[in-house]
Amino acid sequence: MLELYSVLSRVKLDTPIENLTINSIVYFIIKDCKLNVISIPLIARRSIAGYKATIPIEYDIAMKLSRKLKLRTLDLIHLAYTSLLKRKDITDMFITGDKEILECREEILAITGVLIKDPSKLE
């Protein structure tokens, strides 16, 4: 959902999209595309610079993936969340047109077990 809000907030229109309208558009996309919104409310405890921190599990996974994959923050969060969904047998695939993610698809598969697919090559 965050990605939808992010993209819609950056759309350049003659008339700016207000927050209420963005909420309505996100609602429409979720309903029209028959998307399921899944939340996995898990936390991780980490010691960072001598401090004990409690963070969402997907952030902890993204931090670990960052050392290996060298991707942007939001890409890492997407992959971390997808790897959590894979562990729950909800999905095993991530579809993206992002070139950086596509370039390291084999490494992502080896690390997370998640298949990375290019939407232009779907059957």
Contacts of 84 (CB under 8 A, 6+ apart): 40, 42, 57, 58, 61
Question: Which pLDDT value is given to residue 20?
Answer: 66
pLDDT at 79 over 90: yes
Pinpoint the alpha helices (H) of 70-119. Answer: 73-87, 99-103, 105-112
Number of compact structural domains in the chain = 2
Domain shared by 52 and 95, yes or no: yes
Domain that holds residue 94: 43-121
Can you tell me whether residue 50 is helix, strand or coil?
Answer: coil
Higher pLDDT, 114 or 15: 114
Domain shared by 18 and 63, yes or no: no
Residue 37 lies in a domain: no
Q: How far is CA 3 from CA 53, 67, 74, 123, in A?
A: 26, 23, 9, 25
Mean pLDDT of 87-96: 92
Residues 33-50: pLDDT tens digits? 998 887 777 899 988 889
Residue 38 lies in a domain: no
Domain shared by 89 and 54, yes or no: yes
Overall pTM > 0.85: no
Residue 20 lies in a domain: yes
Domain shared by 24 and 50, yes or no: no
Element (H, E) at 53: strand 51-56
Higher pLDDT, 76 or 38: 76
Mean pLDDT of 1-11: 80
